[in-house]
Amino acid sequence: MSTRILDVENLVAGYIPEVNILNGCNVHVDAGEFVGIIGPNGAGKSTLLKALLGMCGVREGTVHLNGENVTGKKAHELIPLGVGYVPQTNNVFPSLTVKENLEMGCFLNPKVFTHRLDVVMDMFPKLRERASQKARGLSGGERQMVAMGRALMLEPSLLLLDEPSAGLSPALQDEVFLQCRRINKTGVAILMVEQNARRCLQVAGRGYVLDQGKNAYTGTGRELLNDPNVIELYLGSLSRATGG
């Protein structure tokens, strides 16, 4: 029996008063699980991650983290509880070096820095080569690694990823997905929002399709990839480059 890390029930949330983006969304993540969230534009995928981190108003519903009610708590209160977050864009400090960026990840507990730096750099050997280089000069894929590495510095039990492959070349996208799988295999549970739906469902054990702020379909990655409704409404039938 695996333990439930994250349990989101009937979440209703939005930015402007009386306009709800999420309309009763249910998502859960068990320890060590890899969960992907896909859905049409404007379905509320990024809003879900923001609502989890207290970055937008939660109107109804609850969020439980390891059994504790954390509904509406802010990011800085959640990070000590074992949540790591990688935003979609602007996710590194360009004027800081790679090492300094990683150090920022330890802001709430600087004592662990030396130890975790080794662990994270073992996970991303490229970051070790570039440790003293400014993040500004890194390629898109390398920045994504810095952002993920930083989120891993406090040894989170749950990692939230907002479109980690956005804007990357096909080769780098593949690298990022495989890297996410490797991170997951070290025991970190992942909740990933992605636009590259096929790759996302290929690496995730389980997936949700969100539509208009609600769950539309749920299943294992393989089930969703083969579900005719999901293909028709969401995945589309173009699949040459990402191995349908």
How far, in Å, CA of 60 to CA of 26, rounded? 12
Q: Which is nearer to other proteins, 19 or 68 (CB)?
A: 19
How far, in Å, CA of 106 to CA of 150, rounded? 8
Q: Which is nearer to other proteins, 124 or 177 (CB)?
A: 177
Q: Which is nearer to other proteins, 3 or 220 (CB)?
A: 220
List 32, 36, 39, 87, residue binding other proteins (CB under 8 A) = 39
Query: CB neighbours of 191 closer than 8 A, spacing ≥ 6?
Result: 6, 27, 29, 35, 37, 49, 158, 159, 160, 161
Q: Which two tokens stand for residue 111?
A: 């004592």
Provide the pairing of β-strand 189-193 with 158-162: parallel
DSSP string, 16-57: STT--SEEEEEEEEETT-EEEEE--TTSSHHHHHHHHTTSSE
Q: Which is nearer to other proteins, 40 or 72 (CB)?
A: 40
Per-residue x/- track, 48-67, other proteins (CB under 8 A): --------------------
Q: Which is nearer to other proteins, 14 or 61 (CB)?
A: 14
Least separation, in Å, of the C-beta of 34 and other proteins?
11
Q: Which is nearer to other proteins, 73 or 124 (CB)?
A: 124
How far, in Å, CA of 241 to CA of 170, rounded? 9
Provide the pairing of β-strand 22-30 with 4-14: antiparallel
List 10, 15, 118, 186, residue binding other proteins (CB under 8 A) = 15
Least separation, in Å, of the C-beta of 56 and other proteins?
13
Site for other proteins in 196-235 (CB under 8 A): 197-199, 202-203, 221-222, 225, 232-235
How far, in Å, CA of 195 to CA of 173, rounded? 11
Site for other proteins in 158-197 (CB under 8 A): 163, 166-175, 177-178, 181, 195, 197
Cα dihedral across residues 17, 19, 23, 25: positive or negative? negative
103 interacts with other proteins by CB under 8 A = no
Torsion, Cα 172 175 176 182, to 10 degrees, reads -170
Q: Which is nearer to other proteins, 39 or 84 (CB)?
A: 39
35 neighbors 206 (Cβ within 8 angstroms): yes
Site for other proteins in 132-151 (CB under 8 A): 139-141
Residue ranges binding other proteins (CB under 8 A): 15-16, 19, 38-42, 46, 139-141, 163, 166-175, 177-178, 181, 195, 197-199, 202-203, 221-222, 225, 232-244
